[in-house]
Structure 1
Amino acid sequence: MKRLFYSSAIYTALGLLSGLFYREMSRANNFDGYSQLNVTHTHMLVLGTIMFLVFMLVEKNFSLTRHQKLFNWFFVTYHIGLLLTVAMQMTNGIMTIKGIEVSPAIAGMSGLGHIFLTVAFILFYILLNKSAFKNKK
Protein backbone atom coordinates (compact mmCIF):
# COMPACT_ATOMS: atom_id res chain seq x y z
CA MET A 1 0.00 0.00 0.00
CA LYS A 2 2.94 2.34 0.60
CA ARG A 3 3.90 2.07 -3.08
CA LEU A 4 0.45 3.35 -4.01
CA PHE A 5 0.71 6.21 -1.51
CA TYR A 6 4.18 7.24 -2.67
CA SER A 7 3.11 7.03 -6.31
CA SER A 8 0.21 9.38 -5.59
CA ALA A 9 2.47 11.81 -3.73
CA ILE A 10 5.09 11.79 -6.50
CA TYR A 11 2.47 12.41 -9.21
CA THR A 12 1.11 15.29 -7.11
CA ALA A 13 4.57 16.90 -7.11
CA LEU A 14 5.09 16.18 -10.81
CA GLY A 15 1.63 17.51 -11.68
CA LEU A 16 2.20 20.74 -9.79
CA LEU A 17 5.67 21.16 -11.28
CA SER A 18 4.32 20.56 -14.79
CA GLY A 19 1.74 23.31 -14.25
CA LEU A 20 4.50 25.67 -13.15
CA PHE A 21 6.64 24.61 -16.12
CA TYR A 22 3.75 25.27 -18.54
CA ARG A 23 3.15 28.72 -17.12
CA GLU A 24 6.81 29.73 -17.17
CA MET A 25 7.51 28.20 -20.59
CA SER A 26 4.52 30.02 -22.08
CA ARG A 27 5.48 33.29 -20.44
CA ALA A 28 9.13 33.07 -21.48
CA ASN A 29 8.17 32.46 -25.12
CA ASN A 30 5.24 34.94 -25.23
CA PHE A 31 2.93 32.06 -26.15
CA ASP A 32 -0.80 32.38 -25.54
CA GLY A 33 -2.18 29.59 -27.76
CA TYR A 34 -2.94 25.97 -27.08
CA SER A 35 -0.28 23.32 -26.64
CA GLN A 36 -0.19 19.88 -25.09
CA LEU A 37 1.49 21.45 -22.06
CA ASN A 38 -1.94 22.87 -21.15
CA VAL A 39 -3.24 19.39 -20.27
CA THR A 40 -0.10 17.73 -18.90
CA HIS A 41 -0.80 19.21 -15.47
CA THR A 42 -4.33 17.79 -15.43
CA HIS A 43 -3.30 14.38 -16.74
CA MET A 44 -0.71 13.92 -14.00
CA LEU A 45 -3.03 15.07 -11.24
CA VAL A 46 -6.00 13.00 -12.36
CA LEU A 47 -4.37 9.86 -13.77
CA GLY A 48 -1.52 10.00 -11.25
CA THR A 49 -2.58 11.55 -7.96
CA ILE A 50 -6.30 10.79 -7.93
CA MET A 51 -6.13 7.33 -9.52
CA PHE A 52 -3.44 6.15 -7.11
CA LEU A 53 -5.58 7.38 -4.22
CA VAL A 54 -8.48 5.38 -5.68
CA PHE A 55 -6.21 2.34 -6.10
CA MET A 56 -5.21 2.78 -2.44
CA LEU A 57 -8.84 2.73 -1.31
CA VAL A 58 -9.52 -0.36 -3.40
CA GLU A 59 -6.40 -2.02 -1.96
CA LYS A 60 -7.60 -1.23 1.57
CA ASN A 61 -10.94 -2.93 0.90
CA PHE A 62 -9.93 -5.82 -1.34
CA SER A 63 -6.23 -6.51 -0.67
CA LEU A 64 -5.16 -6.45 -4.30
CA THR A 65 -1.52 -7.00 -3.36
CA ARG A 66 -2.32 -10.57 -2.25
CA HIS A 67 -1.98 -11.39 -5.93
CA GLN A 68 1.56 -10.02 -5.96
CA LYS A 69 2.63 -11.02 -9.47
CA LEU A 70 -0.51 -9.67 -11.15
CA PHE A 71 -0.42 -6.54 -8.99
CA ASN A 72 3.21 -5.87 -9.99
CA TRP A 73 2.34 -6.22 -13.68
CA PHE A 74 -0.52 -3.76 -13.24
CA PHE A 75 1.60 -1.32 -11.21
CA VAL A 76 4.55 -1.24 -13.61
CA THR A 77 2.38 -1.16 -16.75
CA TYR A 78 0.33 1.74 -15.38
CA HIS A 79 3.45 3.78 -14.56
CA ILE A 80 4.98 3.12 -17.99
CA GLY A 81 1.76 4.12 -19.73
CA LEU A 82 1.24 7.29 -17.74
CA LEU A 83 4.85 8.44 -17.88
CA LEU A 84 5.15 7.74 -21.61
CA THR A 85 1.89 9.56 -22.36
CA VAL A 86 2.84 12.59 -20.27
CA ALA A 87 6.40 12.69 -21.63
CA MET A 88 5.04 12.83 -25.18
CA GLN A 89 2.54 15.53 -24.19
CA MET A 90 5.39 17.59 -22.78
CA THR A 91 7.53 16.99 -25.85
CA ASN A 92 4.67 17.97 -28.15
CA GLY A 93 3.87 21.03 -26.03
CA ILE A 94 7.45 22.29 -25.89
CA MET A 95 7.84 21.84 -29.65
CA THR A 96 4.58 23.71 -30.26
CA ILE A 97 5.58 26.60 -28.00
CA LYS A 98 9.02 26.80 -29.64
CA GLY A 99 7.43 26.77 -33.12
CA ILE A 100 9.02 23.46 -34.11
CA GLU A 101 7.02 21.14 -36.34
CA VAL A 102 5.76 18.18 -34.33
CA SER A 103 6.61 14.78 -35.78
CA PRO A 104 3.85 12.17 -36.15
CA ALA A 105 6.16 9.86 -34.17
CA ILE A 106 5.28 11.88 -31.05
CA ALA A 107 1.60 11.01 -31.51
CA GLY A 108 2.55 7.39 -32.12
CA MET A 109 4.54 7.20 -28.91
CA SER A 110 1.71 8.86 -27.02
CA GLY A 111 -0.63 6.26 -28.50
CA LEU A 112 1.70 3.56 -27.20
CA GLY A 113 1.44 5.15 -23.75
CA HIS A 114 -2.35 5.00 -24.01
CA ILE A 115 -2.14 1.34 -24.99
CA PHE A 116 -0.06 0.65 -21.87
CA LEU A 117 -2.67 2.47 -19.77
CA THR A 118 -5.43 0.40 -21.37
CA VAL A 119 -3.58 -2.84 -20.61
CA ALA A 120 -3.00 -1.63 -17.04
CA PHE A 121 -6.72 -0.97 -16.55
CA ILE A 122 -7.54 -4.43 -17.92
CA LEU A 123 -5.03 -5.93 -15.46
CA PHE A 124 -6.57 -3.83 -12.68
CA TYR A 125 -10.06 -5.17 -13.39
CA ILE A 126 -8.78 -8.75 -13.54
CA LEU A 127 -7.04 -8.14 -10.22
CA LEU A 128 -10.14 -6.55 -8.73
CA ASN A 129 -12.28 -9.46 -9.93
CA LYS A 130 -9.92 -11.99 -8.31
CA SER A 131 -9.83 -10.02 -5.07
CA ALA A 132 -13.46 -8.96 -4.72
CA PHE A 133 -15.06 -12.26 -5.65
CA LYS A 134 -12.50 -14.69 -4.22
CA ASN A 135 -15.04 -16.86 -2.36
CA LYS A 136 -17.87 -16.66 -4.87
CA LYS A 137 -18.27 -19.07 -7.75
Structure 2
Amino acid sequence: MTTFSQRASVIAASVYLVLGLAGGLMYRELTKSTGFPESSVSQLGVLHTHLLALGFLFFLIVLVVDRVFGLGSDKLFQPFFWIYNAGLLLTAGTMAVHGTLTVLGKESSAAVSGIAGMGHIVVTVALLILMVSLIRIVWKTGRPAKDAAPALERAE
Protein backbone atom coordinates (compact mmCIF):
# COMPACT_ATOMS: atom_id res chain seq x y z
CA MET A 1 0.00 0.00 0.00
CA THR A 2 1.46 3.33 -1.00
CA THR A 3 1.10 6.36 1.20
CA PHE A 4 0.87 10.08 0.47
CA SER A 5 4.57 10.45 1.20
CA GLN A 6 5.57 7.72 -1.24
CA ARG A 7 3.32 8.94 -4.04
CA ALA A 8 4.34 12.55 -3.42
CA SER A 9 8.05 11.64 -3.47
CA VAL A 10 7.73 9.75 -6.75
CA ILE A 11 5.73 12.56 -8.36
CA ALA A 12 8.15 15.23 -7.08
CA ALA A 13 11.16 13.24 -8.34
CA SER A 14 9.50 12.90 -11.74
CA VAL A 15 8.66 16.60 -11.97
CA TYR A 16 12.19 17.63 -10.97
CA LEU A 17 13.65 15.20 -13.52
CA VAL A 18 11.63 16.90 -16.28
CA LEU A 19 12.47 20.39 -14.98
CA GLY A 20 16.17 19.52 -14.68
CA LEU A 21 16.36 18.16 -18.19
CA ALA A 22 14.40 21.15 -19.53
CA GLY A 23 16.79 23.49 -17.69
CA GLY A 24 19.77 21.84 -19.37
CA LEU A 25 18.10 22.07 -22.76
CA MET A 26 17.21 25.72 -22.19
CA TYR A 27 20.80 26.54 -21.23
CA ARG A 28 22.22 24.78 -24.26
CA GLU A 29 19.84 26.32 -26.77
CA LEU A 30 19.88 29.84 -25.30
CA THR A 31 23.67 30.03 -25.11
CA LYS A 32 24.01 28.59 -28.60
CA SER A 33 21.52 31.05 -30.09
CA THR A 34 23.05 34.10 -28.36
CA GLY A 35 26.70 33.15 -28.90
CA PHE A 36 27.34 33.17 -25.15
CA PRO A 37 30.94 31.98 -24.63
CA GLU A 38 31.28 28.45 -23.24
CA SER A 39 33.98 29.57 -20.83
CA SER A 40 31.67 32.15 -19.24
CA VAL A 41 29.74 31.23 -16.12
CA SER A 42 26.06 31.82 -15.46
CA GLN A 43 23.58 30.41 -12.98
CA LEU A 44 21.66 29.03 -15.91
CA GLY A 45 24.54 26.63 -16.52
CA VAL A 46 24.09 24.95 -13.14
CA LEU A 47 20.30 25.12 -12.96
CA HIS A 48 19.84 21.65 -14.40
CA THR A 49 22.29 20.06 -11.95
CA HIS A 50 20.61 21.79 -9.02
CA LEU A 51 17.19 20.54 -10.09
CA LEU A 52 18.45 17.03 -10.72
CA ALA A 53 20.39 16.77 -7.45
CA LEU A 54 18.16 18.74 -5.06
CA GLY A 55 14.92 17.60 -6.67
CA PHE A 56 15.15 14.31 -8.55
CA LEU A 57 17.87 12.52 -6.56
CA PHE A 58 16.82 14.06 -3.24
CA PHE A 59 13.25 12.79 -3.52
CA LEU A 60 14.43 9.34 -4.58
CA ILE A 61 16.46 9.25 -1.35
CA VAL A 62 13.46 10.52 0.65
CA LEU A 63 11.39 7.72 -0.91
CA VAL A 64 13.90 5.08 0.19
CA VAL A 65 14.15 6.52 3.71
CA ASP A 66 10.35 6.59 3.88
CA ARG A 67 10.12 2.94 2.79
CA VAL A 68 12.75 1.85 5.30
CA PHE A 69 11.83 3.95 8.34
CA GLY A 70 8.24 5.03 7.67
CA LEU A 71 9.21 8.70 7.48
CA GLY A 72 5.85 9.64 5.98
CA SER A 73 4.03 8.50 9.12
CA ASP A 74 5.45 11.45 11.05
CA LYS A 75 3.17 14.49 11.20
CA LEU A 76 6.05 16.73 10.09
CA PHE A 77 6.41 15.03 6.70
CA GLN A 78 3.74 17.04 4.89
CA PRO A 79 4.96 20.42 6.16
CA PHE A 80 8.51 19.43 5.16
CA PHE A 81 7.36 18.33 1.70
CA TRP A 82 5.46 21.50 0.83
CA ILE A 83 7.98 23.91 2.38
CA TYR A 84 10.93 22.18 0.66
CA ASN A 85 9.23 22.26 -2.74
CA ALA A 86 8.29 25.92 -2.33
CA GLY A 87 11.87 26.81 -1.40
CA LEU A 88 13.46 24.77 -4.16
CA LEU A 89 11.13 26.14 -6.83
CA LEU A 90 11.72 29.69 -5.59
CA THR A 91 15.48 29.17 -5.65
CA ALA A 92 15.47 27.47 -9.06
CA GLY A 93 13.15 30.11 -10.50
CA THR A 94 15.48 32.92 -9.47
CA MET A 95 18.46 30.96 -10.80
CA ALA A 96 16.66 30.70 -14.15
CA VAL A 97 15.87 34.43 -14.20
CA HIS A 98 19.34 35.52 -13.10
CA GLY A 99 21.08 33.08 -15.46
CA THR A 100 18.92 34.07 -18.41
CA LEU A 101 19.65 37.76 -17.78
CA THR A 102 23.39 36.96 -17.63
CA VAL A 103 23.31 35.03 -20.91
CA LEU A 104 21.35 37.85 -22.57
CA GLY A 105 23.91 40.38 -21.31
CA LYS A 106 21.49 42.26 -19.07
CA GLU A 107 21.91 43.42 -15.48
CA SER A 108 20.19 41.49 -12.75
CA SER A 109 18.57 43.32 -9.88
CA ALA A 110 19.14 43.09 -6.15
CA ALA A 111 15.55 41.85 -5.87
CA VAL A 112 16.44 38.67 -7.76
CA SER A 113 19.31 38.00 -5.34
CA GLY A 114 17.05 38.73 -2.38
CA ILE A 115 14.38 36.33 -3.59
CA ALA A 116 17.05 33.67 -4.18
CA GLY A 117 18.24 34.18 -0.62
CA MET A 118 14.70 33.73 0.66
CA GLY A 119 14.44 30.52 -1.33
CA HIS A 120 17.62 29.21 0.30
CA ILE A 121 16.27 30.09 3.75
CA VAL A 122 13.01 28.26 3.02
CA VAL A 123 14.93 25.16 1.85
CA THR A 124 17.05 25.30 5.01
CA VAL A 125 13.94 25.44 7.22
CA ALA A 126 12.48 22.46 5.34
CA LEU A 127 15.69 20.45 5.78
CA LEU A 128 15.65 21.18 9.51
CA ILE A 129 12.04 19.95 9.67
CA LEU A 130 13.05 16.82 7.75
CA MET A 131 15.87 16.09 10.19
CA VAL A 132 13.60 16.59 13.21
CA SER A 133 11.09 14.23 11.61
CA LEU A 134 13.76 11.66 10.79
CA ILE A 135 15.24 11.82 14.28
CA ARG A 136 11.77 11.36 15.82
CA ILE A 137 11.01 8.34 13.63
CA VAL A 138 14.39 6.65 14.14
CA TRP A 139 14.42 7.27 17.89
CA LYS A 140 10.80 6.14 18.24
CA THR A 141 11.12 2.93 16.26
CA GLY A 142 14.84 2.25 16.41
CA ARG A 143 14.40 -0.04 13.43
CA PRO A 144 13.08 -0.04 9.87
CA ALA A 145 9.32 0.21 9.34
CA LYS A 146 7.35 -3.05 9.48
CA ASP A 147 6.43 -3.02 5.80
CA ALA A 148 10.07 -2.40 4.84
CA ALA A 149 11.32 -5.74 6.23
CA PRO A 150 10.19 -7.86 3.22
CA ALA A 151 11.71 -5.32 0.81
CA LEU A 152 14.98 -5.34 2.74
CA GLU A 153 15.08 -9.14 2.73
CA ARG A 154 14.47 -9.26 -1.02
CA ALA A 155 17.35 -6.81 -1.54
CA GLU A 156 19.84 -9.11 0.19
- If the length of structure 1 is used for normalisation, what is the TM-score? 0.95
Q: Secondary structure at the match of 1:133?
A: helix
Greater displacement, 13-22 / 127-136 = 127-136
CA shift, 1:27, in A, is: 0.7
CA shift, 1:104, in A, is: 1.2
Is 1:62 the equivalent of 2:80?
no
**Gapped regions of structure 2 (runs ≥ 5):** 1-5, 143-156
Cα deviations by residue, 1:43-95 (Å, 9 ceiling, x for unpaired): 00000011001100110111111123x11110001001100000000000111
Determine the structure 1 residue equivalent to 2:148: none
Q: C-alpha separation between the residues in 2 aligned to 1:135 and 1:56? A: 18
Moved over 4 A (4+): none
Q: Percent identity?
A: 38
**Among 82, 85, 90, which residue is 1:84 paired with?**
90
Q: C-alpha separation between the residues in 2 aligned to 1:67 and 1:55? A: 13
If you compute each CA radius of gyration, which structure gives the higher value, 1 or 2? 2
CA RMSD of aligned residues (A): 1.0
**Among 26, 37, 40, which residue is 2:47 paired with?**
40
CA shift, 1:135, in A, is: 4.6
**Among 30, 33, 44, which residue is 1:28 paired with?**
33
CA shift, 1:34, in A, is: 1.4
Aligned pair count reads 135
- Taking structure 1 as reference, are residues 104 and 28 closer, same or farther at Cα in structure 2, changes over 3 Å only? same
